Amino acid sequence: MKRRKKKSLSSKEKKLEHISFIMDGNGRWAKKRLLPRTFGHKEGVKKAKEVILHAKAHKIPFVSLYTFSKENWKRPKDEVSFLMKLIIDHFKNDFQFYIDNQIRIVHIGDKNGIPSDVCNAIEEIEQNSKNFNSVTVLLVFNYSGQYDIAQALNKMLADKVSCTDEKEIRKYLLTSDYPDPDLIIRTSGEFRISNYFLYQAAYSEFYVTDTLWPDMSKTEIDKAIDSFYHRDRRFGGV
């Protein structure tokens, strides 16, 4: 009996256009060093900048960072307040980084419920970076996949558009202007999606590493990228 020859994917299908990160482990990184959790979050921001630049070096045009979920509001108030201030301070003090590297920031999430000063900081960097074109970073902040699908369906109902058409649903998602993630990397060894890009991740490849986010290295990212290019992406076919 002849063995069926595996169909090879075209270079277009294999292209890594959008790499996404579930950035987990800041608190555990700090705890291991007997430091407050806030130190881990500070290091996490530094790491995000390094990761964006590494994606740029790989000529990956879209990077998404799961920064703050809707469920994260359940964390201690002091920690949440620190994270909000960290966002404001980062965009205020590090804007030159985005200018120098022509990095565009786009917010993906629910602006309702975000403190006004944080919302203003996000809107300001979106506006000031809108013409930058080396890498587009999707700042996934105050987001959940369930919320994204629900808000899409609500808008469709208001517009009297059929909610059974998958292509139409996609047009109403918060990520409608951007490609779905090809590769989702989760740090800290947790095998769960945490309410992230539930619709968009239908055919994403996943890579889980035990590395905590502040320790994420270029070598580990390269291992994930190499893993992606060695996978057979059939998208439901054979």
Residue 24 falls in the annotated catalytic set: yes
Q: Are 106 and 122 in contact (CB under 8 A)?
A: no
Asked whether the predicted pLDDT for residue 97 surpasses 50, the reply is yes
What pLDDT is recorded for position 166? 86
- pLDDT category at 237 given cuts 50, 70, 90 is low
What pLDDT is recorded for position 4? 39
| pLDDT 10s digits, 110-145 | 999 899 999 999 999 999 999 999 999 999 999 999
**Residue 70 CA neighbour count, 13 Å, CB half:** 15
The string of DSSP letters for the chain reads: -PPPPPPPPPHHHH---EEEEE---HHHHHHHTT--HHHHHHHHHHHHHHHHHHHHHTT--EEEEEEEEGGGGGS-HHHHHHHHHHHHHHHHHSHHHHHHHTEEEEEES--TTS-HHHHHHHHHHHHHHTT--SEEEEEEEEE-HHHHHHHHHHHHHHTT--TT-HHHHHHHSTTTTSPPPSEEEE-TT----TT-STTTTTT-EEEE-SS-GGG--HHHHHHHHHHHHTS---TT--
Virtual torsion, Cα 51, 56, 57, 61, nearest 10 deg = 130
> Is 163 within the bounds of a domain?
yes
For 48, the token pair is 């995000």
What's the domain range around 55?
A: 15-229
Residue 165 falls in the annotated catalytic set: no
How confident is the prediction for the chain on average, in pLDDT?
Answer: 92
CATH of the domain at 101: 3.40.1180.10
Active-site choice (72, 101, 128, 195): 72
> Is 204 within the bounds of a domain?
yes
> Is 9 within the bounds of a domain?
no
> Is 6 within the bounds of a domain?
no
> Is 4 within the bounds of a domain?
no
> Is 238 within the bounds of a domain?
no
Asked whether the predicted pLDDT for residue 2 surpasses 60, the reply is no
**If we measure between CA atoms, which residue out of 161, 102, 113 comes closest to residue 137?**
102
Asked whether the predicted pLDDT for residue 1 surpasses 60, the reply is no
What pLDDT is recorded for position 221? 98
The pLDDT > 70 percentage for the chain reads 92
**Residue 97 CA neighbour count, 13 Å, CB half:** 14
For 215, the token pair is 């320790």
Query: What's the structural domain count of the chain?
Result: 1
The string of DSSP letters for 185-231 reads: EE-TT----TT-STTTTTT-EEEE-SS-GGG--HHHHHHHHHHHHTS
| pLDDT 10s digits, 148-186 | 999 999 999 999 998 888 889 999 999 999 999 999 999
Active-site choice (24, 148, 180, 182): 24
